[in-house]
Structure 1
Amino acid sequence: MFDRRLLTHFDWVLLLTVCLLAGIGIANLYSSTSGWNFIATPIYLKQMVWLCGGVSMALLICCFDYRHLEHFSIHSYLVSIALLLIVLLLGKTTMGATRWIDLGPFNLQPSEVIKIVMIMLLARIFGRTAHPLGYSLAEIWRPALLICLPMLLILKQPDLGTAMMLLFIAASMLVFAGLRRSTLIGLAVIGSGCSVAGWFFLHDYQKARIKTFLNPEADPLGSGYHIIQSKIAVGSGGFSGKGFLSGTQSQLSFLPERHTDFAFSVFAEEWGFAGCSVLLLIYLFLIIWGIYISRRAADRFGMFLALGVTAMIFWHIVVNLGMVIGLLPVVGVPLPLFSYGGTSMVTTMIGVGLLMSVSMRRFKF
């Protein structure tokens, strides 16, 4: 039963902030794809539909008490693992990657669903027991196992970017839960060893992306083309940009994937340093507001739930921006609320709905 008193604590600030970011993203999509006359339904209109659906879902989620999710987190995790297994067996393959389940009208990407589910499960684990001295290595092996299983299934698809996101989200929540110094050292050693060993299990194109990141000029017309064109677009924007619909890299189709992974490059070319600063300040406000919601949560489960969602958004921003300016390898991570993609938009808005639910229930009636 929905308590009408919760309406007085509705988080308009959060909702308006994400809608503002999504609105800027849709305008940017219009600019980056304005010359695509061969598409029946324009990309920006599709994104508007996904945004409306995402906002509706966020509003629906915030009406439910987030504390009930704690009881369903384990079941949701098992269902998500089953979906990841189905993807490997019966999934739809596109451009060499098997990441989707074909449901007719739309494709389901379980690797996006598992992000929210993992946040719920880790919030349950860390929220139930407090460790004043921090977690030891012996105490985190169970959460580590729960994280590694979906990561391995996602790497099998293969999808290095999403697997990285799961690791970063879980690591953020674990750090905030508290770690002993010996645990940090142990994890650093284990992580270094896994990174070296993991190199031999990467696909050839994944190795090529990492090598390209180190020296993109080695293959300027091949694997280094994306990042070189992206850096040209970002740099050519100058201080104030070239103006809306006036970016040469995007309008002349030099910049690949300009509506998805490199949407920020289009924005940087057209609006310059000044526009990028404003956009990043809005994102910074969103992250700070998410942390603020976490700190005001009524219980530990809500605190870690809000923290996990905020970490998810934060790491997507960091990795995407690192990609487009050449500080990180290109791993196919979209910019939340900005890059084109229905699954990404809906996943982010589900997270926003959870944040709103935690924020609205910070008071006890």
Structure 2
Amino acid sequence: MLLRLFSALFGYNYEVVKAQTTVSKQKIVTLGSLMLIPVSLWTISGFYIGYDLLGAGMIKSIIGGLFVGALILIIDKSFLATPKESVNNWLKGFRIVFAVIATILGSIALDLMFFGGDLEEYREKLSAKTQKEEAAKYLLENKHLITELSNSVEIQKGIVETSKTDWKNEADGSGGSGKAGIDKIALLKEGIYKSDTAKLAQMEASLLSMKDSLGQEAIIYGQKMATKKSNALLSKVTDLHDFILSSGFSMFFYGLFFVAVFSLEIFFLITKSSTADSLFEKMLYAEEMVGEKRLQAITEQREEIQRQNGVMGTRAERVRQLSRDQNYLRKIG
């Protein structure tokens, strides 16, 4: 079953592969199975990024995961299907660099999956801190509104004290008209004092209301900014690595995880590069060499024909026909 699958995947004739040695068939199955590891990792990562991080929906996420997995399959298949003799250092170097990049990118989704619980706890603490900082920032930016109204309240308090003193002095005869008693002037000044007091009470109520309103707005603003930051993919990745770098143990554990993912990404490459060619691979290489020799012979034959045409002109074809005519050769002999 697997031999048929990987034979079709690598473009081999299954009937020919089936007749090969056990070692040759085992190597095809082994390399094909190892190749499916990074393909599976990328398919899962692509689906998770689309569904959980980008909110693309189930169907779109499945399509995205399969698309990314197919790209990795094509790239890895092209490397495995290339004969070892044709794989130069540039191609090996490119595949290693690609494996590193693929591991870094692919491990992001896996990291978010495996460290999701720890990250959520870390982000809750970070969100509370962010809300507090953003709320304080909002209050600081709008502090001038309260300051202006507070100054007006203090000024109004001075006005109230002045009108109160003026009214009392008028009532006891120590100021104003100099007549003690509640006359028209005293009543007028009492009205001014009460009016100023009412205005002060209104201004103090406005100040208290503004403080409450501004406090609520600051809380809402802090929550909004914290939510806005938490919804971004880059923000999640940044918070993940901030969490990882927060302690030596988490860095060590993450390093082990990264090495494991990288090993899975590149293990098929190491296997292909370090193992000897199977008999089937040698046969494919020999078949390629025979084809090259045959192509070289055809090229040389055509070059010879062109040379003969240049020397003998129109008689060249007749001479070649006579040279192929065995009866004619026997007559000459």
For Structure 1 versus Structure 2, the TM-score category normalised by the shorter chain is under 0.3
Larger Rg: 2
Higher helix share: 2
Higher relative contact order (CA 8 A, sep 6+): 1
